[in-house]
């Protein structure tokens, strides 16, 4: 996540990480961001189906604002059959064309094809996806100090670089070290809420 402020105090009196800034967002967008920040971002996710959805959305976000993805999240879930790995792994060229015509998602052919390839890679795994991804979580995840502010939050880490390398070896696409670190942040493999953010550790 990036931000123009290090931390923000919103109208409800709560201090949040600076990438969610009520003063810079339309009311509906602020609610999307606030709810995602408060209830999802940084909370541990181990379920393989949920993790596949997160990998897919993070890949679609590459080069774009996360807000765009949040706005279209329901559209993505509908278009990709709730991110059912087995079903997506069977997608054909007809499905690619269907998705390219769907205004409810980000219509990027390379990312659509990567999502299908990633579903096939998950289907071919010899280990549970959650187990594989969490094997790259830092061992001190639950005890390391939270960053003082967003300027102390890295874009990549040795763990995300290693994760990206292993995923690429297994046939995944569009999951480089930066995307892998964003995934780690989003799914609680690292806790990058700032020290003064109200969200408790989980």
What residues are labeled active site? 36, 58, 66
Residue 88 CA to residue 178 CA, distance in Å, equals: 25
Pinpoint the alpha helices (H) of the chain: 27-39, 48-61, 66-71, 73-79, 85-89, 93-100, 109-123, 129-134, 158-169, 177-186
With beta carbons less than 8 A apart as the criterion, state whether 42 and 201 touch.
no
Q: Among all chains, which residue has been given the structure tokens 């959650």?
A: 130
- Give the tokens for residue 190: 């690292």
Residue 127 CA to residue 9 CA, distance in Å, equals: 43
Name the CA dihedral angle for 132, 138, 143, 146, rounded to a multiple of 10 degrees.
-110
With beta carbons less than 8 A apart as the criterion, state whether 52 and 41 touch.
no
**Neighbouring C-beta atoms of residue 31, cutoff 10 Å:** 12
């Amino acid at each position: 996540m990036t931000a123009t402020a290090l931390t923000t105090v919103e109208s409800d009196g709560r201090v949040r990480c600076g990438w969610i800034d009520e003063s810079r967002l339309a009311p509906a967008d602020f609610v999307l961001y606030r709810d995602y920040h408060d209830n999802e971002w940084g909370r541990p996710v181990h379920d393989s189906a949920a993790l596949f959805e997160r990998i897919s959305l993070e890949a679609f976000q590459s080069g774009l604002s996360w807000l765009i993805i949040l706005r279209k999240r329901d559209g993505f879930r509908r278009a990709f059959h709730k991110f059912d790995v087995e079903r997506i792994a069977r997608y054909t060229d007809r499905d690619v064309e269907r998705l390219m015509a769907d205004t409810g998602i980000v219509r990027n052919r390379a990312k659509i094809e990567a999502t299908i390839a990633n579903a096939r890679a998950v289907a071919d795994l010899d280990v549970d996806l959650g187990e594989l991804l969490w094997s790259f979580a830092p061992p001190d995840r639950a005890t390391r100090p939270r960053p003082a502010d967003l300027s102390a939050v890295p874009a990549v880490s040795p763990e995300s670089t290693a994760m990206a390398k292993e995923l690429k070896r297994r046939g995944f696409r569009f999951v480089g070290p930066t995307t892998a670190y964003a995934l780690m942040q989003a799914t609680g493999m690292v806790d990058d809420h700032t020290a003064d953010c109200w969200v408790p550790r989980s």
